[in-house]
């Protein structure tokens, strides 16, 4: 087992590893076998304050540092990940039950976002804007917001921490990171360790491992951070947005989804099956972009369903350390129980289980359900696990209506032999992202990532990240003398 679970079971504040001073510990468990990985004494409100104040102090010098010099840290961080790849893979497998395939996928994306951060340091550009006043020069500067608070989730903790932390740092900000309680190492102290080894000046990145039962809203309400970047559920996201608004802070919210993968009658059925199985069952379905619903034109429903169920039946469920495993454990027993409840509710409402997976501890086998009533709440909510609903439709118009009949609007996909038909279909869907002839699970460093409706506010990646973690400042210069009316 990686030594990271002993060495990094601490807070990281002002460039120092130190224990928390709270009165209780967060226990970090392996969701597959229940092994205790680490015990971490939580951070208190005072330590949250220490972390933000450290970031505030360190940011002044960092923000004034030449952007070309800042790039070196991210180049070195890439080298650190390459050097520690197997250890980091072990952490992802052990702490969140990710398979080797999932760990490789996550590390690939982390590298891509770090490469983009190397360039992001140079991305902000100023402008000279014309003035109606003679002799007036209007300069518009892009400047760091100062300090960014980042709250990351448990499903892709290393990636979704780095995805906000690295760009915020590259753009000249300080950062305080609060990882999810179920993934304090992969989502928190591991990120700090990588940047520490990469030579990031102390104090710029701080990690506080804690719980709202201890600190309440102190992480969000604190006066230092100007932006809170949150990834998680829409329920918690609504609260984060409310508290941020009350404290005049900007929030960037990457929230849940209820994506649909749509198979039109002219689609390549075998290819659509492959895309749908991946889109639903990657990382046990614990992905905000996962295809909760697979919509199939009724004319091809029988053929698609037979091939889909046959492929899902072959997915190996078990030990995530086994390279052949596709579906490992869900994150905890509450999640496992909730998924069992979803399946039983669907059956009670009249659905048919084409596959009815069993649940043992945190191991949830795939379930494939059809015939869920059109008015069921299950079709409109996020289901975070290996449960999928097959939904037939008659024609594109009905498909569009069904896809949009949810409070979420994150991702989705459509399969068709006619590319422009697919694009026209995508334009009618109320989502931030939609894919033609592909899966629903995608993230790229340059393309704006985010959702509509309950799936979030704001975007990350590329230029939208610059918008999220910088602000504009107008400085005017009057050449000659202004004339005043009195």
Which tokens in the block code for residue 81?
């990940």
Instruction: From 443, 83, 38, select the one nearest 209 (Cα to Cα).
Output: 38
H helix intervals, 146-233: 157-170, 190-197, 212-215, 218-221
CATH H-level superfamily of 259-436: Aldehyde Dehydrogenase; Chain A, domain 2 (3.40.309.10)
Distance CA 230, CA 386 (A): 24
Domain boundaries, the chain: 4-255+455-474, 259-436
**Mean pLDDT in residue range 236-256:** 98
Q: Residue 2: which pLDDT band, with cuts at 50, 70 and 90?
A: low
Residue 362 to residues 69, 99, 339, Cα–Cα distance (Å): 46, 14, 10
Distance CA 34, CA 14 (A): 33
H helix intervals, 198-300: 212-215, 218-221, 234-246, 269-281
Which amino acids are annotated catalytic? 254, 288
Distance CA 187, CA 80 (A): 16
- Please give the pLDDT value at position 3: 86
CATH class of 4-255+455-474: alpha beta
- Whether residue 329 contacts residue 361, with contact meaning beta carbons closer than 8 Å, is answered with yes
Mean pLDDT of the chain: 97
Instruction: Work out the angle between the directed axes of helices 67-83 and 190-197 (0-180°, nearest 10).
Output: 120
**Mean pLDDT in residue range 374-386:** 97
Q: What is the pLDDT of residues 53-92, one digit of tens each?
A: 999 999 999 999 999 999 999 999 999 999 999 999 999 9
Q: What is the DSSP letter of 385?
A: S
Distance CA 374, CA 362 (A): 30
Which tokens in the block code for residue 153?
């989730």
Which tokens in the block code for residue 247?
């404290």
Q: How far is C-alpha 288 from the geometric centre of its chain's CA atoms?
A: 8
Q: Phi-psi bin for 337: left (phi > 0), alpha (psi -120 to 50), beta?
A: alpha
- What are the residues whose beta carbons fall under 8 Å from the beta carbon of 55, sequence distance 6 or more? 147, 174, 175, 176, 203, 204, 205, 206, 224
Residues forming beta bridges with residue 231, ordered by sequence position: 254
E strands in 421-469: 435-436, 452-453, 456-457
């Amino acid at each position: 087992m990686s030594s990271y679970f002993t060495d990094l079971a601490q807070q990281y504040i002002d460039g120092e590893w130190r224990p928390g001073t709270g009165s209780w510990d967060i226990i970090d468990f392996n969701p597959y076998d229940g092994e205790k990985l680490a015990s971490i004494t939580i951070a208190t409100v005072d330590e949250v304050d220490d972390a933000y104040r450290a970031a505030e102090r360190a940011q002044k010098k960092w923000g004034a540092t030449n952007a070309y010099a800042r790039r070196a840290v991210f180049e070195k961080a890439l080298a650190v990940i390459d050097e520690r790849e197997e250890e980091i893979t072990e952490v992802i497998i052990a702490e969140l039950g990710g398979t080797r395939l999932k760990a490789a996928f996550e590390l690939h994306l982390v590298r891509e976002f770090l490469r983009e951060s190397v360039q992001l340091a140079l991305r902000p550009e100023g402008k000279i804007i014309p003035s109606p006043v003679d002799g007036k020069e209007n300069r518009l500067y892009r400047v760091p917001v100062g300090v960014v608070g980042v709250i990351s989730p448990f499903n892709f903790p290393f990636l979704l921490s780095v995805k906000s932390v690295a760009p915020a740092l590259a753009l000249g900000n300080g950062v305080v990171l609060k990882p999810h309680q179920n993934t304090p190492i992969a989502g928190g102290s591991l990120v700090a360790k990588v940047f520490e080894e990469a030579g990031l000046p102390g104090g710029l990145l701080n990690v506080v491992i804690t719980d709202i039962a201890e600190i309440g809203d102190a992480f969000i309400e604190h006066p230092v951070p100007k932006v809170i970047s949150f990834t998680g559920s829409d329920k918690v996201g609504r609260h984060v947005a409310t508290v941020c608004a009350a404290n005049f802070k900007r929030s960037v919210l990457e929230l849940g989804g209820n994506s649909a993968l749509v198979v039109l009658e002219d689609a390549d059925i075998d290819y659509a099956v492959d895309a749908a199985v991946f889109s639903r069952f990657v990382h046990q379905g614990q992905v905000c972009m996962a295809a909760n619903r697979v919509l199939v034109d009724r004319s091809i429903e029988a053929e698609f369903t037979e091939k889909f169920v046959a492929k899902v039946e072959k997915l190996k469920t078990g030990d995530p350390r086994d390279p052949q495993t596709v579906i490992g454990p869900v994150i905890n027993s509450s999640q496992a129980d909730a998924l069992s409840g979803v399946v039983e509710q669907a059956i009670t409402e009249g659905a048919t289980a084409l596959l009815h997976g069993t649940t043992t501890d945190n191991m949830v086998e795939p379930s494939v359900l059809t015939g869920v009533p059109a008015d069921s709440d299950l079709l409109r909510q996020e289901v975070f696990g290996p449960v999928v609903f097959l939904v037939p439709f008659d024609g594109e118009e009905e498909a569009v209506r069904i896809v949009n009949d949810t409070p979420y609007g994150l991702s989705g996909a459509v399969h068709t032999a006619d590319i422009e038909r697919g694009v026209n279909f995508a334009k009618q869907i109320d989502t931030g992202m939609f894919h033609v002839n592909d899966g629903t699970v995608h993230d790229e460093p340059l393309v704006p990532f985010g959702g509509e409706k309950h799936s979030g506010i704001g975007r990350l990646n590329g230029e939208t990240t610059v918008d999220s973690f910088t602000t504009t400042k107008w400085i005017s210069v009057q050449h000659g003398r202004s004339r005043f009316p009195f």
